[in-house]
Amino acid sequence: MRSKAQQLRGKLKRGTVVLVGAHDGITAKLVAKAGFDGVWASGFEISSAHGVPDASILSMEESLASAKAIASSVPIPMIADCDSGYGTVENAAKMTKAYEAIGAAGICIEDNPFPKRNSFYPGKRKLVSPEEHAARIAAAKGAQKSKHFMVIARTEAFIAGLGLKEALKRAYCYEEAGADAILVHSKAKTPDEIFSFAKGYGGSLPLVCVPTSYNRTNVKQLADGGYRMVIYANYVLRTAVAAIIKNLEILKQENSAYPLEGSIVPMGKINELVGYAPLKHLKSGG
Ligand code: SPV
Ligand code: MG
């Protein structure tokens, strides 16, 4: 049987793939059921789901446990957002082995320092040198077992205000270090930055984007602009939070669960999602 990493590489060969962020088993199952190509174990979603900021507050082990719940809940490939690699090159190598062992099809490491801060948090930021990040990428590539496992190198050059030239320089440096794809992040309201990057990029790796701030640009436009992987990183959590806020307000106001009936799923739907089957062989009926 083809591994999930092989599945992902196969899909990438055929066209532009779409991944959606999740933070636990059930949200990953919903992403898979909706028909997306893969699931993104989002650092932002996983941190937020633990009630803490996306700023290297969770340990690698804590994030890994969430990623394991995600990977083991779905038949589709998972790429794990591994932030800035949890420290030194040795940490990056250890982390790669751990993520591959829990069933990740690939990981993504960004050129932020450790500890990192989410790309959309305000304030000035300084990236690690291209050489330092290239060393993390090389360490990750050296640590993987299967040749199909993917290491995505992410540059935050645009996020840090360093411009196109620096973004391209970093991409070539990470490609040279053995990366399997380049994720170029941007917080611009339009896709101009990422399109200029794709136009200027003369390397051979598939390009990956995260259309959060330029959300009017659809998958077809991103594919036409040169992107082979599109990650909708945080929409599941934001959808859930919007629905929860609304219904908790109603519950508090009405002091009754009845008004929620039309806007919640029946318990049977949850049972179906998690694969609950009554244990008929037990005398009690399970
Ligand atoms: C994440 O989902 O954690 C990401 C994407 O890294 S972003 O939050 O846009 O940086
Ligand atoms: Mg992240």
Ligand nearest to the backbone CA of 234:
1
Q: What is the pLDDT of residues 75-134, one digit of tens each?
A: 999 999 999 999 999 999 999 999 999 999 999 999 999 999 999 999 999 999 999 999
Give the SS3 label for residue 209. Answer: strand
216: left (phi over 0), alpha (psi -120 to 50) or beta: alpha
As beta bridge partners, residue 109 has 153
**How many whole angstroms separate alpha carbon 67 and alpha carbon 43?**
10
Delineate the domains of the chain, giving CATH numbers in brackets: 4-234 (3.20.20.60), 241-279 (no CATH)
Q: What is the pLDDT of residues 4-35, one digit of tens each?
A: 999 999 999 999 999 999 999 999 999 999 99
How much is the average pLDDT of 238-254?
98
Asked whether 7 lines ligand 1 (CB < 6 A), one says no
Q: What is the pLDDT of residues 45-71, one digit of tens each?
A: 999 999 999 999 999 999 999 999 999
How far is CA 262 from each of CA 33, 244, 284, rounded to the nearest angstrom?
A: 22, 14, 33
Structure tokens at 138: 């090389």
Query: Is residue 54 among the annotated active site residues?
Result: yes
Q: What is the pLDDT of residues 105-121, one digit of tens each?
A: 999 999 999 999 999 99
Q: Give the active site residue among 54, 81, 83, 180.
A: 54
Quick one: which atom of ligand 1 is closest to the CA of 233? 2
Ligand nearest to the backbone CA of 22:
1
Asked whether 43 lines ligand 1 (CB < 6 A), one says yes
Q: Indicate the average pLDDT of the chain.
A: 96
How much is the average pLDDT of 194-217?
98
Predicted confidence at residue 1, as pLDDT, reads 83
